[in-house]
Amino acid sequence: MKKFSIGIMLAITIALVCVLGFGYKSSPEPNNYYEVYLNDESLGTIKSKDELEDYIDENGSYYKKKFDVDKVYSPKGLQIKKLTTYNGEVDSVSSVYRKIAKKGKFTIRGYEFVIKKQADEKDTEAKEKLTTQSVYVLDKNVFKKAVEALIKTFVGEDKYKAYIEDSQVKIETTGEEIQNVYVNEDITVKETNIPVDETIYTDYNTLANYLLYGKNQTGTEYTVQAGDTIENVAFNNKISPEEVLISNTSLTSTTNLLYPGQKLKIIETNPQISVVEESYVVEDIESQFPTEERYDSNAAIGVDKVIQNGENGLERVSQRVKKVNGIINYVDPESKTVLKAPISKIVLKGTKYIPDVGSTTSWGWPTDSGWTLSSGYVWRTSPITGRRELHGGLDISGTGYGSNIYASNNGRVKEAGYHYSYGNHVIIDHNNGYLTLYAHMSKINVKVGQVVARGDVIGFVGMTGAATGPHLHYEIWKGCDYCRINPMSMY
């Protein structure tokens, strides 16, 4: 039995060796493929990394033509990692390309300029709001020329050229000398792959417009009206006169004349970088004359009389001036020489107190003596209109053209000016329930708000307005404006 069992075991062993041993094959070699990821998302497996990159470039003809470049690259965030696997299944390059095109943006080679706004070291709030922005170009010279164009806009092309060429006119008496021009922002540049959906500048003029106006470059059009000036056009459209000149290159100065129908572009500037111009300036500046006040106790409070006219002086002033984008930012004075001293204006001011409330029982006559009452407070046929009407006052004649007209009571001047019928006239509110009117003056001698005393000269006899000869038309009103009463009832 034992021998039989050993024989069976041996037979089984031989059979297993025949089945397993002679049918064995060695393990296959692993494959070196590439796993494609976009922003850490797997898009498939391909055989060749170079094949995918070539396929991306070959299918980028639209972008090559649009940007005039020779090669198109894979999107940012695309990774192609080598993969060793025994799995023999791979994706086609075209299918992986379609996934990439759907989920990402292809890129082209160019330059990224990063503009970092500067802040005052002491200004914590400004530092927190510090911003950066990127500008993309294919040629670094495009950015350089755009910045130069912006500088010329704010500094002036001829002035900037003279500064660069060191050919500025030296200051002999007055003038300006640019000492430094620079951009205030921190600008860095690096070569990089740029997504094709970014704004990529290939023309420096287009980039210069962006650096000047920002994204809003359309603006509006304004049609000049009669009487318009550059300053009022700017003010009414909420921009500065300098912005009008910038957007309308045919205009060279804010003093240029405009003509009705002229079309002007109205665009608000929004500079993306700060052009700083530092200059030494010498100019002759008028110095405002001072006003000297002297006092006269014989004249009433509120009565001012100029006894000497003022005259401005002239000073030669030298300054260090800093401009940012064409606007004066800082002025540091250096010296000042008086070329002509100013002459003071001298004003004589009354100090005498006069109450502005008149008497209700005592009234002065409004003209010189020798008068004739040419018309009273009566119904009559008007010599002017020919109509029957109430003559609401007194016509006092006979004192002569240019003779004095006097306030008939204390009060405050309510009106002093011209009226189509009354001519040059004065109305005094006596603050006691009465007002008086004095008409047809040749000249007015008081102003609105002035306090007058009974007997003060308020004007001179004339014949302005509806008058046939020199006389004073005199009215007294009681209780309200134009509530006329007979003036003779007060005398």
**Residues 268-300 pLDDT 10s:** 999 999 999 999 999 999 988 988 989 998 887
CATH 1.10.760.10 fits 278-352, yes or no: no
Residue 52: φ, ψ to 5°? -70, -45
pLDDT digits (tens, 9 = 90+) for 232-257: 999 999 988 999 999 998 999 999 99
220-269 against 278-352: fold identical: no
- d(Cα 456, Cα 263) in Å, to the nearest integer? 57
Architecture of domain 220-269: Roll (3.10)
Do the Cβ atoms of 189 and 123 come closer than 8 Å?
no
Please give the Cα distance from 310 to 480 (Å, whole number): 43
CA distance 258 to 332: 36
Q: What are the sequence ranges of the domains in the chain?
A: 31-104, 114-213, 220-269, 278-352, 372-490
HEC letters along the chain? CHHHHHHHHHHHHHHHHHHHHCCCCCCCCCEEEEEEEECCEEEEEECCHHHHHHHHHHCCHHHHHHHCCCCCECCCCEEEEEEEECCCCCCCHHHHHHHHHHHCCCEEEEEEEEEECCCCCCCHHHHHCCCEEEEEECCHHHHHHHHHHHHHHHHCHHHHHHHHCCCCCCCCCCEEEEEEEEECCEEEEEEEEEECCCCEECCHHHHHHHHHHCCCCCCEEEECCCCCCHHHHHHHCCCCHHHHHHHCCCCCCCCCCCCCCCEEEECCCCCCCCEEEEEEEEEEEEECCCEEEEEEEEEECCCEEEEECCECEEEEEEEEEEEECCEEEEEEEEEEEEEECCECEEEEEEEECCCCCCCCCCCCCCECCCCEEEECCCEEECCCCCCEEECCCEEEECCCCCCEEECCCCEEEEEEEEECCCEEEEEEECCCCEEEEEEEECEECCCCCCEECCCCEEEECECCCCCCCCEEEEEEEECCCCCEECHHHHC
The answer to whether 118 touches 199, Cβ cutoff 8 Å, is no
> Would you give per-residue pLDDT tens digits along the chain (491 residues)?
444 455 555 454 444 444 444 443 444 788 899 999 999 999 999 999 999 999 999 999 999 999 999 999 999 999 999 999 888 889 999 999 999 999 999 999 999 999 998 655 555 554 556 789 999 999 999 999 999 999 999 999 999 999 999 999 999 999 999 999 999 999 999 999 999 999 999 999 999 999 999 987 788 999 999 999 999 999 999 988 999 999 998 999 999 999 999 999 999 999 999 999 999 999 999 988 988 989 998 887 777 889 999 999 999 999 999 999 998 889 898 999 999 999 999 999 888 888 999 998 889 999 998 888 988 898 888 888 878 888 999 999 989 899 999 999 999 999 999 999 999 999 999 999 999 999 999 999 999 999 999 999 999 999 999 998 899 999 999 999 989 999 999 98
- Superfamily for the 372-490 domain: Glucose Permease (Domain IIA) (2.70.70.10)
Percent of the chain exceeding pLDDT 70 equals 92
